[in-house]
Amino acid sequence: MADLSTKPYLIRAIYEWCADCGFTPYLSVRADQNTRVPLEYVKNGEIVLSISQAATRNLTIGNDVIQFTARFNGVSREVSVPVYAVLAAFARENGKGVYFDPEPAPECAAQPTPPPALAPVPKVQSIVPAGPASAGPAGDQPPPPDKPKAPPRGNLRVIK
């Protein structure tokens, strides 16, 4: 029989306990290359997410990944968090919950399989189509937009 981690079960238990008590369930997550979260809200490699029923849609707390859709500054975003990246599941109102020791990413997730070796491709000089002089080297593409300002943090708080 497979050796299942207790971590996803504890996360689900805290989520249900918060719902039963009228508390707001939060997750503290270590963001890495396998975590799909809005990067503008990541501070010091961590993000705190509300996973309440009011804050999420289609919440799934699986044994390997937690997925949902949430609005960040009014924009709907898909969120995917590997369970190993969860540092804590707790109630916003009193801070009670479970706090986990940081876990390394599983080897299969941390190191993607490199593509098979291919023969080197000879360098080819790129040809830019002729266009207006103001178009620049990229042709008809507009200049890249300025880096967006980070939206306000809302009700999120960092747990250290």
- Is 131 domain-assigned? no
- Is 59 domain-assigned? yes
Per-residue HEC secondary structure of the chain comes to CCCCCCHHHHHHHHHHHHHHHCCCEEEEEECCCCCECCHHHCECCEEEEECCCCCEEEEEECCCEEEEEEEECCEEEEEEEEHHHEEEEEECCCCCEEECCCCCCCHHHHCCCCCCCCCCCCCCCCCCCCCCHHHCCCCCCCCCCCCCCCCCCCCCCCCC
- Is 76 domain-assigned? yes
Domain count, the chain: 1
Q: Which domain holds residue 101?
A: 25-109
- Is 82 domain-assigned? yes
- Is 47 domain-assigned? yes
CATH code for the domain of 65 = 2.30.30.220
pLDDT in tens, the chain (160 residues): 667 899 999 999 999 999 999 999 999 999 999 999 999 999 999 999 999 999 999 999 999 999 999 999 999 999 999 999 999 999 999 999 999 998 888 876 544 444 444 444 444 443 444 444 444 444 444 444 554 444 444 454 555 5
- Is 124 domain-assigned? no
- Is 117 domain-assigned? no
